[in-house]
Amino acid sequence: MKTKEQMQPHALSGISSLFVMKGGFTSTAATGTNASGTVVELDETNMCEFPCSEDSGFNYNEGTPSTDGHKIHGLGVYWTSKMTPGDTEIAIEIPCHDTDILDFCGFTAADLEVKGKTSGTIFKGKTFKGKAFSGIRKAVVLGLFALDDTEQNAFFVKKAKLMASVAFDASNKPLCVMLNGTLQEGAAADAVAVVEIQSA
């Protein structure tokens, strides 16, 4: 039996970086002598690092199971019961509107130019340029790889189905892209994992 002191190095805490993979991660069967399980390659050409707010910027929660029980007279406990797993919820808050991030989040960009009229006073001679987006939102599938603050351990989500929204208000937060959703392939054996670095 392991002691709690032996288990302490396996406590995952803190996030230093969140990397996402467009379309989610793909796993293949491990090969080689005594190989088991699956292998996932981190293809950085199709990945993006998301800055996350420090307070509740990344949240993964599998929810609380619900219990439906049947009682009988004279016994103050369930005679029989069934349980239903909770609903997995994933939430990410990204305080940045970089075009790469918006693209990963499913926004389709179009160039936009906003110009002040020559007859104006405040905006006369001023031109603003940027990207415009439709208010229509579609779900996107992303793989998530969150390094802890030691960068020796990571929380892995193979495929998350998420929908983006934009939040901008009078608080001290910048404009934020919010992602909310759940697991895309929750039944897969390698849907979620905590992994530890083995080699550089």
- Give domain limits for the chain: 15-29+37-60+86-196
pLDDT at residue 31 tops 70: yes
Answer yes or no: is pLDDT of 33 > 80.
Answer: no
192 — phi, psi (to 5°)? -140, 145
Q: Using CA of residue 151, residue 154, residue 164, residue 86, what is the dihedral sign? A: negative
CA-based nearest residue to 89, from 163, 147, 24: 163
Q: pTM for the complete prediction?
A: 0.85
Identity of the residue numbered 6: Q
Q: What is the mean pLDDT of the chain?
A: 89
In 31-41, which positions are buried (b, 16+ CB within 10 angstroms) versus exposed (e)?
A: eeeeeeebebe
In this predicted model, what pLDDT tens digit does every residue of 91-109 receive, in sequence order?
Answer: 999 998 888 888 889 888 7
pLDDT at 66: 93
